[in-house]
């Protein structure tokens, strides 16, 4: 039976982040966390391969506050989730994240296929997947839109700038998938309730033999500034103006601004 792992990141929902217009600082006060959208595609790929080939399928994550994600991920198909929750990972960059995930995957052992999203919803560095492949000594098969298992490995369609490339891999691989590979379903009530009965496996950095020094990011963050746009924000159909009138008012406005004709 093949063993499949899907990795995911628990990220701040970028739609909830507010930017202070004056200081351009980011405000996270009202932010909710979610499983990164791209990783939901990865989880669904693992889930459908599990159903198709009766594979063993588990999820893996790491971070500073990932415990609130466990029920959510288990409602999406995996039979277990292996995770490391450690405050030191709050500042983790792609390099640190890949080291921790690789450690967990080695601990699980004999994993045939690792699936990741093409990038994360917050940083979108698009590097954890290929980094994992390099650290595990697996093939790196990125930007995949179609994936199927073979006896020896896998066949995949990769979408690149200049077209589609169909590749064959013999042996274990890390695959990163594009959002077009599937549409992850919203978990049903039954799946959500079922998730509560599934096991979770908590590991520590010590368990995977990673020192705290190795978890120091090599990129030091020296500031994040929100991008702001100066816009007019004028509503065309206020004061009971009909849509027809608003449309004409807009056309005049755009002509006056020198944009039309």
Partner 1 sequence: MSGIWVISETPKIAWEMLAKARELAGNEVVTAFVVGDYETGMDAISFGADQVLLLEMPANIPWEECRDVILKAGETNKPSLIMVAATRRGKDLAAQLAALLDAPCVSECKSIIKDGENFLTERIVYGGLAVKKMVSNGCLVATIPPGTYHPEKIEGRSGDVKQLKPQGFKMVVRERRPKPATSVNISDANIVVGVGRGFGSKEEIQMAERLADILDGAIGCTRPVAEDLRWLPEECYIGLSGQVVRPALYLCAGVSGQVQHVYGIRDAKTIVAVEKNENAPIIRIADYYILGDLKEVLPALIGAFAKAK
Least distance to partner 1, CB of residue 196, Å = 31
Cβ nearer to partner 1, comparing 79 with 180:
180
Q: Indicate the Cα dihedral angle 69, 67, 49, 160, nearest 10°.
A: 70
- 1/166 with CB nearer partner 1: 166
Q: How far is the CB of 153 from partner 1 (least distance, A)?
A: 9
- CA dihedral of 34, 36, 39, 40, whole degrees rounded to 10: 50
The values of phi and psi at residue 11, to 5°, are -120, 160
Contact 66, 10 (CB under 8 A): yes
Quote the least distance from Cβ 194 to partner 1, whole Å: 27
Q: Which residue has the tokens 């908590």?
A: 202
Kindly state the smallest distance separating residue 9's Cβ from partner 1, in Å.
13
C-alpha–C-alpha distance, residues 198 and 191, integer Å: 11
Q: How far apart are CA 73 and CA 67, in angstroms?
A: 11
Name the residue nearer to partner 1 (CB basis): 54 or 165.
165
**Which CB sits closer to partner 1, 197 or 232?**
232
């Amino acid at each position: 039976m093949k063993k499949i792992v899907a990795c995911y990141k628990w990220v701040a929902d970028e739609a909830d982040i507010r930017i202070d217009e004056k200081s351009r600082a980011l405000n996270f006060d009202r932010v909710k966390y979610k499983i990164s959208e791209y990783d939901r595609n990865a989880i669904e790929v693992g889930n459908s391969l599990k159903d198709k080939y009766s594979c063993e399928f588990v999820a893996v994550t790491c971070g500073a506050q990932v415990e609130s994600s466990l029920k959510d991920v288990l409602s999406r198909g995996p039979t277990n989730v292996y995770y490391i929750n450690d405050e030191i990972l709050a500042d983790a960059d792609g390099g640190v994240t890949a080291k921790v995930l690789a450690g967990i995957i080695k601990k699980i052992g004999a994993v045939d296929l690792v699936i990741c999203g093409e990038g994360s919803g917050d940083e979108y560095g698009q590097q954890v997947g290929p980094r994992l492949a390099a650290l595990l000594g697996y093939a790196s098969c990125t930007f995949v839109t179609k994936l199927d298992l073979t006896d020896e490995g896998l066949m995949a369609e990769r979408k690149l700038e200049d077209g589609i490339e169909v590749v064959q891999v013999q042996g274990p691989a890390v695959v990163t998938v594009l959002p077009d590979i599937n549409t992850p379903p919203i978990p049903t009530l039954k799946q959500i309730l079922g998730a509560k009965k599934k096991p979770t496996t908590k590991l520590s950095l010590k368990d995977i033999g990673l020192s705290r020094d190795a978890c120091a990011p090599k990129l030091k963050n020296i500031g994040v500034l929100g991008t702001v746009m100066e816009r007019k924000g004028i509503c065309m159909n206020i004061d009971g103006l009909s849509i027809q009138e608003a449309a004409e008012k807009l056309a005049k406005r755009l002509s006056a601004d020198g944009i039309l004709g």
